[in-house]
Amino acid sequence: MRAKILVYALPALILATIHLAEAQQAGKIPWIGYLASAGSGPSPAFIQGLQDLGYVEGKNIAFVFRTAEGHSQRYADLAAELVRLKVDIIVADSSGQALAAKKATSTIPIVITGFITDPISLGLVASLARPGGNVTGLTNIAGELGGKQLELLKEIVPKLNRVAILRMVSSGAPSSDDVFIKETEVPARGLGVQLIPVVVRGADDLEDAFRSMIKEQANGLFTRLLPTYSVPFKRVAGLAMKNHLPSISSQFAWTDAGGLMSYGTDLNVQHRRAALYVDKILKGAKPADLPVEAPTKFELRINLKTAMQIGLTIPQSTLFRADKVIK
């Protein structure tokens, strides 16, 4: 009798195990691998964008967050780790991260969030309209804005002729900063301005970087740095004021931190829109068929307090065009 029970029970147990495995597979939630240069988690705006689309962390979506902690040479290892973990999508915040992810996988979809200047020149996509591979998302086309940012600096500093470009050290691969400098050289020559690249690895290099700018007789500053704990914007802005350097950035956080001007796109909006790409891909869309989105709205912000501190008078015509003036 006991043998008969085992004979009948074994198939039932196997069948139940199969159904359980199928149920677990059916209930599997997608994992989003998020690569960042710094921070403790995905962009809050990105998470909010997913929440607006009905995603709840731990319920129908989950994150694997990896940060290089300001060390760009770690991108390759972090991207390879996300691939080994078999995440469903990789979200990349910068060109270095996106290039590392693309090198690590040709099958896992990669969504870029908007910090990347020219994904075509970097080899991430074939074209904005038809990316053609496993990468899509948003671009900030900051390289094309370099000329406009120079014009704005020239409006308030008519004698502007030497502009330092403060950037993080490259990981060795092409970067958005490289594209920005290359594309800004042409309008710079037209405005009679020489660009002076200045590289830092972190906050410890900032004092030396500004001494180098002064030695090179820079009378203006582009900052290409991101507002992370490894390079605090307030400290950079303070050094720019101390050295009486009129400055501009594409990031609005720059003027909030005490920088003179910012002109660019709202990266919070870019991150929320990146969530739309994740949603579309999870619902079956292929990255190759999703056009890369370029920003359509740009804002000018001016910190009038900083202008007064460094002894600059902002023309009324420039102030009238500003979307926000910090007084």
The single residue listed with the structure tokens 């900063």 is 177
Shared domain for 194 and 304, answered yes or no, is yes
* pLDDT above 80 (res 172): no
Query: Angle, to 10 degrees, between the axis of helix 176-190 and the axis of helix 142-156?
Result: 40
Integer angstrom CA distances of residue 291 from 129, 165, 207, 210, 238: 4, 31, 42, 40, 40
* pLDDT above 90 (res 230): no
Higher pLDDT, 16 or 225: 225
Kindly state whether residue 250 falls inside one of the protein's structural domains: yes
Kindly state whether residue 13 falls inside one of the protein's structural domains: no
Q: Which domain holds residue 90?
A: 24-140+267-289
Per the structure, the count of domains in the chain is 2
For 117-144, what is each residue's pLDDT tens digit? 788 888 999 999 999 999 999 987 755 7
Kindly state whether residue 56 falls inside one of the protein's structural domains: yes
The CA-CA-CA angle for residues 172, 250, 142, to 5°, reads 60
Query: How does the average pLDDT of the chain come out, rounded?
Result: 87
Q: What is the mean pLDDT of residues 285-298?
A: 92
What confidence tier does 173 reach under pLDDT thresholds 50, 70, 90?
A: low
Shared domain for 178 and 313, answered yes or no, is yes
pLDDT in the model for residue 7? 40
Shared domain for 167 and 235, answered yes or no, is yes
Shared domain for 117 and 155, answered yes or no, is no
Shared domain for 152 and 131, answered yes or no, is no
CATH number at residue 156: 3.40.50.2300
For 232-258, what is each residue's pLDDT tens digit? 889 999 999 999 999 999 889 999 999
Shared domain for 117 and 164, answered yes or no, is no
The single residue listed with the structure tokens 């308030």 is 156
For 298-315, what is each residue's pLDDT tens digit? 899 999 999 999 999 999
Shared domain for 172 and 304, answered yes or no, is yes
The single residue listed with the structure tokens 């994992």 is 31
51-55, 143-147, 195-199, 227-231, range with the lowest pLDDT: 227-231
pLDDT in the model for residue 177? 81
Kindly state whether residue 93 falls inside one of the protein's structural domains: yes
Shared domain for 109 and 195, answered yes or no, is no
Of the candidates 300, 207, 230, which has an alpha carbon nearest to the alpha carbon of residue 260? Answer: 300
Backbone angles phi, psi at 99, to 5 degrees: -65, -40
pLDDT in the model for residue 40? 81
Rounded to two decimals, the pTM is 0.79
Shared domain for 185 and 88, answered yes or no, is no
- DSSP calls for 194-263: EEEEEEESSGGGHHHHHHHHHHTT--EEEE----BTTB-HHHHHHHHHHTT--EEES-HHHHHTT-SEEE
Shared domain for 221 and 320, answered yes or no, is yes
pLDDT in the model for residue 326? 96
> What does the alpha-carbon distance between residue 278 and residue 296 come to, in Å, rounded to a whole number?
21
16-30, 97-111, 276-290, range with the lowest pLDDT: 16-30
What confidence tier does 112 reach under pLDDT thresholds 50, 70, 90?
A: very high
* pLDDT above 50 (res 14): no
**At 127, is the secondary structure helix, strand, or coil?**
coil
Kindly state whether residue 321 falls inside one of the protein's structural domains: yes
**At 193, is the secondary structure helix, strand, or coil?**
coil
Kindly state whether residue 16 falls inside one of the protein's structural domains: no
**At 38, is the secondary structure helix, strand, or coil?**
coil
The CA-CA-CA angle for residues 58, 60, 66, to 5°, reads 55
Torsion-angle region of 181 (φ positive above 0: left; ψ -120 to 50: alpha; else: beta):
alpha
Q: What is the mean pLDDT of residues 271-276?
A: 95
Shared domain for 218 and 76, answered yes or no, is no
pLDDT in the model for residue 225? 81
Kindly state whether residue 186 falls inside one of the protein's structural domains: yes
Shared domain for 127 and 171, answered yes or no, is no
Of the candidates 179, 85, 84, 114, which has an alpha carbon nearest to the alpha carbon of residue 97? Answer: 114
* pLDDT above 50 (res 25): no
Integer angstrom CA distances of residue 208 from 200, 258, 294: 9, 20, 36
For 207-217, what is each residue's pLDDT tens digit? 999 999 999 99
**Percent over 90 (pLDDT), the chain:** 65
Across 88-203, where does the E strand assignment appear? Answer: 89-92, 110-113, 135-138, 162-168, 194-200
Kindly state whether residue 149 falls inside one of the protein's structural domains: yes
